[in-house]
Structures are given as structure tokens and as C-alpha cells.
């Protein structure tokens, strides 16, 4: 079993992202690992009483992000938080739970499986000593740790007045990017998301939107001409650079040259080999799209 | 009294030796010219008579017969006037008879006795040299073009009086040796590839086209700079050698497009007929055949802007010259052959409205696009090796200055590739990669196993035709030459595939 470790603000293990916010915790209790500062981190949060749609979205986004090596931070609560973390872990990704109780307290009880799994594939973080009970007053302040640890905050289903809204306002203070998953306008469970979007949050129409904002490559794997999956890592550097320029609407070779900064002959050669591999398609001479 | 003077006739590009014979005998005063004459030669008698009179020479009231021999050749044009006048003066005993051994006389007369310039002097002088003549008397205004011929004594004359003075050894022509060497009405002088911002892929395609003399099609929205790019194509073609310059000048001489200041044409021509051009204007023709736009573009660029707007008949004319590099014109008088070895550069919009595949502006559906492109005949498209895509350019590109590659740099790369080709094709009739026939492909464009594999997948992936396959390999050969690589590598093939011309694939988003 894992031991609880304690780091003060002045220890070098203490995450920098946390150290430099307005009101950093004096110290943190950790079980398992801390998030890898060299990897991108996304916090997925949302309503505890979520709909099936929210559940599906949380699972989809978490899986896709985890597949691309993104660490998922959340509050390990019921609903969206738990679903997202579970999905990330089952995809083989890493996840971190920020708790509103002591690190040895499993709360809520139904998330015991996550609690067990997370300690080998991520970690538990809290500012409260072991044995502290999950009292309501603790949750609002632990939210500032969630928002501090992430690069992008993704909101899936939130009411206008909710714990999620508190996390979002912390994230705004701390300068984190906020994305919200859109849903039906009349759905009170998503009214918070819609409001955030209208106030300038990014629309998370697909996991790619988040990945792009994180500056990560698009999917590592794409479908080839014969239906087999092609790992983008197996492409040459030029081919990857060209692939990053392609989109679902035609992009001309000149635009590819400008975006990829390759020479025209290299760009042309790369885009052709992508066409032959079936990853790209020529829609009219010298115009290319990604093949679906 | 009988006398004669040598001159030359021109039919198409062929010159024939003609004798202008004159005889004066007693009888009723008549002046007649015979020898299978066309209208303008028949009128020569009146011009010559008046010109002589205004130069102070009155024809005696005798029976004067002039014959242009041999009589079975139809005589056209106005270049016989001067020869007739000289023959008459000799027959009258005004000038010595034996002073013009080895001399051919060419020129038209005006009523005042002035010698006017005629067309086709250069091919005539060249032929005179081949026939063993050592001197030519030509109009002063034709001196520059005739000077292109080496080892030929030229006697340029401005007036009939100069001719008389020459025969008496008292004529010293004043000659201005400056040679401008450009083609008249040429708006491609002083242009440079540097003027074009952006359009990197088009520039690259043009470079490949220039290096291997591949025909090229530029597609792009209106105002994107297709014409601008095409006009700069001659500036990156390899410099013509002297023989090519002579060929070009000869054609322009026959077409009457050389001004008095123009000598040897040293630039490759750029010919851009309007899309309302008739088939004959492109091929050349007439009773005395004149070269058409195809031949005027010989050793240069024939630019067809708005290709689908050309009538189908006009475009079909291009098939023979594109295949055989000559154009033969058959008329009742005979057949004449003009050289027509040009690089075809065509430009067109991608669709009727001009913006496909930019969906923010273009509403054409695939069928519209296909119909628009379908106006161009397949066989013509089949003979085009490369396709460049001009793009609407951004404001940033428009304003950018100084970073563009200039024509000189590109031309140096092209010359290098041309030199490699010259070495490769030494001893054969081929000069450029675009001329490699299907039978010679394996010999000159050997592909390794990897490259074969790439071609195989490309063949299936892009549904190529056999001809398209050969075109790609030829273009890949040129790209490899530009790269200085003996072996055709995979990236060369890939690039050639990217620049291949439109075919069935057009219009599928």
C-alpha cells in the first residue's frame, strides 16, 4: 500500500503550477505520484448528478485525451469527475485525484475502484492531513488545486451555480484555458456550459480542439487506405509536418508550404506519399484533404 | 538586248533561285512581264516603270519582255521589283553587264525609286549562300536581319540611284551596326520571376517545365497571376544557341515581324494568341503560306490564356505540332512545312466561376466543374505533362518584398539540367526529357525496385493511364536532373505525381 507523503511549499517536489498561484496550500499530502510537469494536463470536471450524455462525453473525451498522453486531473467525485478519471485509467492513461478529505479517506464509497487503481497510475493529492473527514467546506477550496494543476480546464455539464462554476472562476484567476462541451439549450444541467461559452470559453466540439489548444499533434493513429491503422510516429518528419497542415477542407500545396515551412519539392513529395498511404486525398490538382 | 539578274522566290520556308530576264527588241512599244505571276508581281511592271522614270531613266519605246524563270514556279510577293529594274537597266546598257557575278538582288520599289523592305530576306540570303552566291543586294531596312548570315557580302541600297552608283563603283553604304535583338511588340522584355509574390508551387512547376521542355497547364482563380507567371517563362528557359536564334529569326522574317532595327533574335519568343483565334491563325496558311502563331512560338513559349474558351477546332490544330514539332500546310500550290517546336503553356480557371475548390466563393457542383474542364479535348490534355495550381494570394504575400527567387537563379538551375540532358541524349534526335518516346523510357529513366513499388502503388491509388504513367516518369527524370541526381529517387517520382495534369480525377471533393 502507498504511504502518504507530505511536501511543503518550499520542497522541490512541490508542483510549480501550485506554488505560484495566489493562495497556494502551505503543504500537500500525496499518495502515489505527482503530475509530470513535462506532460500536458487537462482537468475534466462537471456535475455530480450528470446525465447519460454527460457520462458518455466525459468518457469519450477522457479516453481520447489519455490516448494522446494527456494526464487527467479531477476531484474524484460522483458523476463527471469519476467517469472521466476511470475512463482515462482504463485507457492506460494517468490520472490524479484532488480530494476534499484526507488521502486515506475513500469518498464517495462507490469510487473505491478508482481510489485503488489511481495510486499505481497517477496519484491522490490533498491539502488535508490523513483522517480528515469529507466536509462540505473543504470542497470549494480544493477546487483551486484542481484548476491550478491543469493546463486546460474542460467542463462537461454544469449548472449555472455549482461547484464547477467555482473551479472555473479559480481557473480564470490562474490564467488557465477553459473549454466547455456544448449541449441542449434548454437543459439546466448544461446551462453553466452554455453561459461559459457565451462568455468566451472554448467550445470542445471534439477532443482535437483540446489537443490543438495544448499544442499536441492530432491523433497518433489514423486509418490507412486498406483500413489498417497507421501510426503517425512511423511517418517521416516531413510527412508529419505536412499531415499537421491538412484538414477536412481542401488545402493547397502553397498553403502547406507556408504552414510547414518545408521547401516546395519536399512538401510535394511528402503529401504524395501521404496520398499513396491513404492518409490524405487529392481533391483537385494540388489541393489536398485528410481522408476520413 | 538580253540580260538577266538572279533573285530568289519564297514559298513557305523554301527558297528557289529565280532569274529575272529582260529583253528589248524592235516592235510596237510594249512592256510585259511573264512567268506565272500572282497579282502583286503583275503590278511590278507599273512600279518598276515609274520608279525608273522618277530616277531619271526613261524606258525606250521598244518591245520589252521580262520573264521570271523558271516559269513553272508561281511567283508571289514584291521582292522581284528591284531585280526586274536591274535587269532592265542592264538590257538598256546603263550599267555594266559583268559587274554582278555571284550576286542576288532582292527588294521592292516604290514609285519614287526608293527601295523598300521586304519579308523573308533572311531565309533568302541563307539560301543564296547555299546556292553559291557571294553577294546580295538588299533593301537598307533589311540589312540587320541579313547580317545574321556570315560570309556573305551585303550591298544595302536605299534608292535606285544607289544601285546605279554601285555598278559604277561609286557607292559606299552607310551601315549602322547596332543590333537590338528583340522581337517587336514583345511585352516580355524586362520581366523577372522576382516580380511574382507567393505561388511557390507554380514557380516550381514552371522551373520543371523549363528544364525538360514539358508542356504545362496553370489552373487558378481569376487575378491570381497565371498570365504574369507565364510571361516569365521565357526568362527561365535555357538561352537559345545561335542555330536556334537563326531559326527563330527566319520565321519572324517571313512573317514580316522584324523591324528595321531588329537583327538576330536572341530571346526566346513568347506568343500569346487571343482565345478568339481561328485555326488558320494558329497553324499558318494563305496562298503564299505565312507562319501562324504556332510557328512564331518556335523554340519559345506558346501561351494559351483561358484555354477552355478556345474553340475546339483551334485547339485540335495543335495536335500535330505537339507531336511532330512541325506543322505542315498543304495548299494547291504545294505543301510547306514550318517548324513549330514550342513549349505549350496554357492557363485556365478551375471552373466556370473561377474559384473551385474554394467553397466560400464557388457554388459549382462536381458536374459543372467537369463540364467546364471537359471543353478541352482529352488528346490535348494528354500532351500536357505538368499542372501548376495558382492560388489566390494573401495580402501578406502581396506586400512581401525581396525574398522571391529571380529568373537568373532559376535559369542557372535550368541550364544545368539542360546540360545533363544534352550529355545524355548525345547522338540521338532527342534534346529534352519531354521528347523521350515510350520505347526509350526504360533506357533513359531506369527505376529501382523501391521506385517501381512506389509507381505501382501510385498507379493504383491515382488510377493512372499508361500515357499518364510515362509522363510522370519523364517529369521525374527532369526533376532528378534539376536535383543533379543520376538516379530517379522516390521523392522525384512523388513530386512528379503531384504536378501531374488533370484527368478523370478532376472535380471530386
Q: Tell me, what CATH number does B141's domain have?
A: 3.30.230.10
Q: What is the mean pLDDT of the segment spanning B224-242?
A: 91
Residue B387 and residue A285 in contact, taking contact as beta carbons nearer than 8 Å: yes
Task: Grade residue B371 by pLDDT with cuts at 50, 70 and 90.
Answer: confident
Same domain assignment for residues A104 and A51: yes
Interchain proximity A252–B356, CB inside 8 Å: no
Domain termination residue (choose one: A187, A214, A241): A214
Q: Which chain A positions have a beta carbon within 8 Å of B198's beta carbon? A: 254
By the CB < 8 Å criterion, does A209 face chain B? no
Q: What b/e readout covers B316-335, taking b as 16+ CB neighbours within 10 angstroms?
A: ebbeebbeeeebbbeeeeee
Q: What is the DSSP letter of B218?
A: E
Residue carrying C-alpha cell 457565451: A198
Same domain assignment for residues B51 and B125: yes
Same domain assignment for residues B146 and B226: no
Distance CA B216, CA B218 (A): 7
Same domain assignment for residues A37 and A157: yes
Q: What is the pTM of this model?
A: 0.70
Interchain proximity A269–B498, CB inside 8 Å: yes
Q: Which chain A positions have a beta carbon within 8 Å of B497's beta carbon? A: 272, 275
**Which structural domain range is residue B93 located in?**
2-167
Distance CA B468, CA B472 (A): 6
Does B506 reside within a domain?
no
By the CB < 8 Å criterion, does B398 face chain A? no
Same domain assignment for residues B137 and B237: no
Same domain assignment for residues B225 and B315: yes
Cell of A3: 504511504
H, E, C per residue of chain A: CCCCEEEECCCCCCCHHHHCCCCCCCEEEEEECCCCCCCCEEEEEECCCCCHHHHHHHHHHHHHHHHCCCEEEECCCCCHHHHHHHHHHHCCCCEEEECCCCCCCCCCHHHHHHHHHHCCCEEEEECCCCCCCCCHHHHHHHHHHHHHHCCEEEEECCCCCCHHHHHHHHHHHHCCEEEECCCCCCCHHHHHHHHHHHCCCEECCCHHHHHHHHCCCCCCEEECCCCCEEEHHHCCHHHHHHHHHCCCCCEEHHHHHHHHCCCHHHHHHHHHHHHHHCCEEEEECCEEEECC
Does B185 reside within a domain?
no
Does B37 reside within a domain?
yes
By the CB < 8 Å criterion, does B220 face chain A? no
By the CB < 8 Å criterion, does B505 face chain A? yes
**For B482, nearest residue in chain A (alpha carbons):** A265
Same domain assignment for residues B278 and B363: yes
Residue B29's pLDDT is: 93
Does B179 reside within a domain?
no
Does B21 reside within a domain?
yes
| 3-class secondary structure, B7 | strand
Same domain assignment for residues B68 and B204: no
Same domain assignment for residues A59 and A197: yes
Asked if this assembly's ipTM is beyond 0.85, the reply is no
**For B219, nearest residue in chain A (alpha carbons):** A285
Same domain assignment for residues A203 and A81: yes
Instruction: Name the nearest CA neighbour of A193 among A179, A206, A207, A205.
Output: A179
Domain termination residue (choose one: B150, B167, B184): B167
By the CB < 8 Å criterion, does A257 face chain B? yes
Same domain assignment for residues A286 and A148: no
Same domain assignment for residues A231 and A134: no
What's the number of CA atoms in the CB half-sphere (13 Å) around residue A252?
Answer: 22
Q: What is the pairing mode between strands A280-284 and A251-252? A: unpaired
pLDDT(B506) > 60: no
Residue B479's pLDDT is: 95
First to last CA, chain A: 46
What is the overall mean pLDDT for chain B?
Answer: 88
**For B504, nearest residue in chain A (alpha carbons):** A284
Residue B7 and residue B127 in contact, taking contact as beta carbons nearer than 8 Å: no
Domain termination residue (choose one: A214, A245, A272): A214
Same domain assignment for residues A114 and A232: no
Q: Which of A266, A284, A289 sits opposite B507 (nearest CB)?
A: A284
Out of A18-32, B68-82, B349-363, least confident range: B349-363
By the CB < 8 Å criterion, does B355 face chain A? no
Interchain proximity A275–B219, CB inside 8 Å: no
**For B479, nearest residue in chain A (alpha carbons):** A265
CB atoms within 10 A of CB B72: 7
- Burial grade of B383 (CB within 10 A; 0-12, 13-18, 19 or more): middle
Q: What is the DSSP letter of B75?
A: B
Distance CA B277, CA B286 (A): 15
Interchain proximity A275–B462, CB inside 8 Å: yes
By the CB < 8 Å criterion, does A219 face chain B? no
The residue count for chain B: 509
Interchain proximity A269–B201, CB inside 8 Å: no
| 3-class secondary structure, B460 | helix
Tally of domains in chain B: 2
Q: Is the four-CA dihedral B497, B498, B501, B503 of positive or negative sign?
A: positive
Same domain assignment for residues B131 and B213: no
Domain termination residue (choose one: A214, A238, A253): A214
- Burial grade of A92 (CB within 10 A; 0-12, 13-18, 19 or more): exposed
By the CB < 8 Å criterion, does A10 face chain B? no
pLDDT(B51) > 70: yes
pLDDT(B381) > 90: no
Per residue of chain A (292 residues), give pLDDT as tens. Answer: 678 999 999 999 999 999 989 999 999 999 999 999 888 999 999 998 888 889 999 999 999 899 888 999 999 999 999 999 999 999 889 999 999 999 999 888 888 889 988 988 999 999 999 999 999 889 989 999 999 999 999 999 999 999 899 999 999 999 999 999 998 888 888 899 999 999 999 999 988 889 888 877 555 556 665 666 677 777 888 888 898 888 877 888 888 888 888 888 889 889 988 888 888 888 777 888 887 5
By the CB < 8 Å criterion, does A278 face chain B? yes
Residue B230: which CATH number? 3.40.50.300
Same domain assignment for residues B286 and B391: yes
Task: Grade residue B392 by pLDDT with cuts at 50, 70 and 90.
Answer: confident
Same domain assignment for residues B152 and B215: no
Same domain assignment for residues A210 and A239: no
Residue A284: which CATH number? 1.10.10.10
Q: What is the pairing mode between strands B334-339 and A152-156? A: unpaired
Q: Which of A264, A271, A284 sits opposite B357 (nearest CB)?
A: A284
By the CB < 8 Å criterion, does A220 face chain B? no
By the CB < 8 Å criterion, does B508 face chain A? yes
Interchain proximity A264–B387, CB inside 8 Å: no
Same domain assignment for residues B141 and B203: no
The residue count for chain A: 292
Residue B186's pLDDT is: 52
Maximum pairwise Cα distance, chain A = 68
Neighbouring residues of B38: CB distance < 8 A, sequence distance ≥ 6: B74, B75, B76, B77, B287, B288
By the CB < 8 Å criterion, does A272 face chain B? yes
pLDDT in tens, B133-143: 999 999 999 99
> Would you tell me which residues 162-181 of chain A have a C-beta closer than 8 angstroms to some C-beta of chain B?
none
Residue A221's pLDDT is: 59
- Burial grade of A135 (CB within 10 A; 0-12, 13-18, 19 or more): exposed
Does B71 reside within a domain?
yes
By the CB < 8 Å criterion, does B201 face chain A? yes
Residue B184's pLDDT is: 42
Q: What is the mean pLDDT of the segment spanning B430-438?
A: 90
Does B152 reside within a domain?
yes
By the CB < 8 Å criterion, does B454 face chain A? yes
> Would you tell me which residues 241-300 of chain B have a C-beta closer than 8 angstroms to some C-beta of chain A?
none
**For A225, nearest residue in chain B (alpha carbons):** B461
Same domain assignment for residues B233 and B303: yes
Does B182 reside within a domain?
no
By the CB < 8 Å criterion, does B499 face chain A? yes
Interchain proximity A264–B388, CB inside 8 Å: no
Same domain assignment for residues A203 and A225: no
Q: Which of B350, B461, B495 sits opposite A275 (nearest CB)?
A: B461
Same domain assignment for residues A104 and A195: yes
By the CB < 8 Å criterion, does A270 face chain B? yes
By the CB < 8 Å criterion, does A116 face chain B? no
Neighbouring residues of B324: CB distance < 8 A, sequence distance ≥ 6: none
Same domain assignment for residues A267 and A170: no
Same domain assignment for residues B378 and B412: yes
Q: Name the minimum distance, in Å, from the CA of B341 to any CA of chain A.
A: 27
Interchain proximity B219–A285, CB inside 8 Å: yes
Please calculate the CA angle B421-B425-B431 and round it to the nearest 5 degrees: 70
Interchain proximity A284–B391, CB inside 8 Å: no
Domain termination residue (choose one: B103, B133, B167): B167
Neighbouring residues of A157: CB distance < 8 A, sequence distance ≥ 6: A46, A47, A50, A51, A53, A54, A57, A79, A80, A181, A183, A189, A190, A192, A193
Q: Which of B203, B389, B479 sits opposite A285 (nearest CB)?
A: B389
CA-CA-CA-CA dihedral for B302, B307, B313, B317, to nearest 10: 20
Q: Which chain B positions have a beta carbon within 8 Å of A287's beta carbon? A: 357, 389
Same domain assignment for residues A120 and A87: yes
Residue carrying C-alpha cell 507556408: A258
Residue A89: which CATH number? 3.40.50.450
Cell of B333: 500550290
pLDDT in tens, B174-224: 765 555 444 444 555 678 888 888 888 999 999 999 999 999 999 999 988
Task: Grade residue B508 by pLDDT with cuts at 50, 70 and 90.
Answer: very low
Tally of domains in chain A: 2
Question: Which site among B362, B366, B388, B495 would you substitute to test the A interface, given the most A Cβ atoms closer than 10 Å to its Cβ?
Answer: B495
Cell of A181: 462541451
Residue B463's pLDDT is: 81
Q: Which chain B positions have a beta carbon within 8 Å of A252's beta carbon? A: 201, 389, 391
Q: Which of A252, A270, A289 sits opposite B391 (nearest CB)?
A: A252
**Which structural domain range is residue A200 located in?**
5-214
pLDDT(B378) > 50: yes
Indicate the angle between helix axes B200-212 and A264-277, nearest 10 degrees: 100
Amino acid at each position: 500500500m502507498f504511504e502518504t507523503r507530505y511536501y511543503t511549499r518550499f520542497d522541490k517536489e512541490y508542483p510549480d503550477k501550485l506554488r505560484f498561484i495566489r493562495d497556494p496550500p502551505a503543504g500537500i499530502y500525496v499518495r502515489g505520484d505527482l503530475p509530470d510537469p513535462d506532460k500536458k494536463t487537462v482537468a475534466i470536471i462537471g456535475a455530480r448528478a450528470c446525465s447519460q450524455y454527460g457520462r458518455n462525453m466525459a468518457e469519450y473525451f477522457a479516453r481520447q485525451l489519455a490516448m494522446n498522453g494527456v494526464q487527467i486531473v479531477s476531484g474524484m467525485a460522483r458523476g463527471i469527475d469519476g467517469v472521466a478519471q476511470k475512463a482515462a485509467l482504463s485507457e492506460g492513461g494517468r490520472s490524479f485525484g484532488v480530494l476534499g478529505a484526507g488521502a486515506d479517506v475513500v469518498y464517495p464509497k462507490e469510487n473505491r475502484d478508482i481510489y485503488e487503481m489511481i495510486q499505481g497510475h497517477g496519484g491522490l493529492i490533498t491539502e488535508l492531513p490523513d483522517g480528515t473527514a469529507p466536509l462540505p467546506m473543504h470542497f470549494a477550496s480544493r477546487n483551486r488545486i484542481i484548476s491550478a494543476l491543469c493546463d486546460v480546464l474542460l467542463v462537461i455539464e454544469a449548472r449555472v451555480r455549482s461547484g464547477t462554476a467555482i473551479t472555473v472562476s479559480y481557473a480564470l484567476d490562474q490564467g488557465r484555458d477553459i473549454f466547455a462541451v456544448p449541449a441542449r439549450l434548454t437543459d439546466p444541467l448544461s446551462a453553466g456550459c452554455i453561459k461559459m461559452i457565451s462568455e468566451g470559453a472554448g467550445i470542445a466540439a471534439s477532443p482535437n480542439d483540446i489537443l490543438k489548444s495544448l499544442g499536441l499533434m492530432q491523433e497518433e493513429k489514423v486509418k490507412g487506405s486498406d483500413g489498417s491503422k497507421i501510426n503517425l510516429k512511423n511517418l517521416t518528419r516531413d510527412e508529419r509536418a505536412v499531415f499537421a497542415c491538412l484538414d477536412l477542407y481542401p488545402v493547397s500545396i502553397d498553403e502547406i508550404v507556408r504552414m510547414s515551412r518545408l521547401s516546395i519539392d519536399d512538401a510535394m513529395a511528402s503529401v504524395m506519399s501521404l496520398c499513396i498511404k491513404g492518409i490524405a486525398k487529392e481533391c483537385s490538382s494540388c489541393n489536398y484533404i485528410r481522408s476520413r | 538586248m538580253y540580260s538577266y539578274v538572279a533573285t530568289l522566290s519564297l514559298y513557305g520556308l523554301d527558297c528557289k533561285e529565280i532569274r529575272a530576264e529582260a529583253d528589248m527588241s524592235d516592235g510596237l512599244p510594249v512592256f510585259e512581264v511573264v512567268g506565272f505571276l500572282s497579282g502583286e508581281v503583275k503590278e511590278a511592271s507599273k512600279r518598276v516603270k515609274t520608279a525608273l522614270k522618277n530616277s531619271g531613266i526613261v524606258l525606250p519605246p521598244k518591245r520589252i519582255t521580262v520573264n521570271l524563270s523558271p516559269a513553272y514556279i508561281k511567283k508571289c510577293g514584291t521582292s522581284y521589283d528591284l531585280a526586274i529594274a536591274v535587269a532592265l537597266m542592264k538590257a538598256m546598257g546603263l550599267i555594266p553587264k559583268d559587274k554582278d557575278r555571284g550576286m542576288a538582288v532582292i527588294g521592292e520599289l516604290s514609285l519614287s525609286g526608293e527601295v523598300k523592305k521586304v519579308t523573308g530576306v533572311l531565309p533568302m540570303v541563307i539560301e543564296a549562300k547555299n546556292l553559291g552566291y557571294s553577294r546580295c543586294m538588299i533593301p537598307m531596312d533589311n540589312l540587320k536581319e541579313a547580317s545574321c548570315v556570315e560570309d556573305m557580302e551585303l550591298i544595302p541600297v536605299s534608292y535606285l540611284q544607289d544601285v546605279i552608283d554601285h555598278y559604277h563603283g561609286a557607292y559606299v553604304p552607310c551601315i549602322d551596326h547596332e543590333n537590338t535583338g528583340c522581337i517587336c511588340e514583345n511585352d516580355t522584355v524586362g520581366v523577372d520571376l522576382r516580380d511574382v509574390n507567393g505561388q511557390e508551387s507554380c514557380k516550381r512547376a514552371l522551373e520543371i517545365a523549363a528544364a525538360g521542355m514539358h508542356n504545362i497547364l496553370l489552373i487558378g482563380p481569376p487575378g491570381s497571376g497565371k498570365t504574369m507567371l507565364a510571361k516569365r517563362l521565357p526568362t527561365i528557359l535555357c538561352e537559345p544557341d545561335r542555330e536556334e536564334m537563326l531559326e527563330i529569326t527566319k520565321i519572324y522574317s517571313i512573317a514580316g515581324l522584324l523591324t528595321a532595327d531588329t537583327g538576330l533574335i536572341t530571346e526566346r519568343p513568347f506568343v500569346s494568341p487571343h482565345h478568339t483565334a481561328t485555326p488558320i491563325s494558329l497553324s499558318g496558311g494563305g496562298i503564299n503560306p505565312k507562319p501562324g502563331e504556332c510557328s512564331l512560338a518556335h523554340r519559345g513559349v506558346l501561351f494559351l490564356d483561358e484555354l477552355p474558351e478556345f474553340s475546339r477546332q483551334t485547339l485540335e490544330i495543335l495536335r500535330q505540332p505537339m507531336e511532330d514539332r512541325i506543322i505542315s500546310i498543304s495548299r494547291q500550290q504545294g505543301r510547306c512545312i514550318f517548324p513549330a517546336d514550342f513549349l505549350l503553356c496554357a492557363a485556365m480557371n478551375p471552373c466556370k466561376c473561377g474559384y473551385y475548390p474554394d467553397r466560400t466563393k464557388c457554388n459549382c457542383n462536381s458536374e459543372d466543374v467537369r463540364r467546364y474542364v471537359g471543353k478541352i479535348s482529352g488528346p490535348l490534355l494528354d500532351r500536357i505533362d505538368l499542372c501548376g495550381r495558382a492560388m489566390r494570394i494573401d495580402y501578406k504575400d502581396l506586400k512581401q518584398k525581396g525574398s522571391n527567387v529571380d529568373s537568373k537563379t532559376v535559369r542557372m538551375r535550368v541550364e544545368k539540367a539542360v546540360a545533363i540532358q544534352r550529355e545524355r541524349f548525345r547522338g540521338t534526335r532527342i534534346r529534352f526529357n519531354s521528347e523521350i518516346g515510350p520505347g526509350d523510357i526504360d533506357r533513359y529513366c531506369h527505376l529501382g525496385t523501391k521506385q517501381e513499388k512506389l509507381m505501382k502503388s501510385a498507379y493504383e491509388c491515382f488510377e493512372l493511364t499508361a500515357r499518364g504513367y510515362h509522363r510522370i516518369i519523364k517529369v521525374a527524370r527532369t526533376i532528378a536532373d534539376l536535383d543533379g541526381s543520376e538516379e530517379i529517387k522516390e521523392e522525384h517520382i512523388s513530386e512528379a505525381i503531384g504536378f501531374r495534369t488533370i484527368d478523370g480525377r478532376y472535380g471530386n471533393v
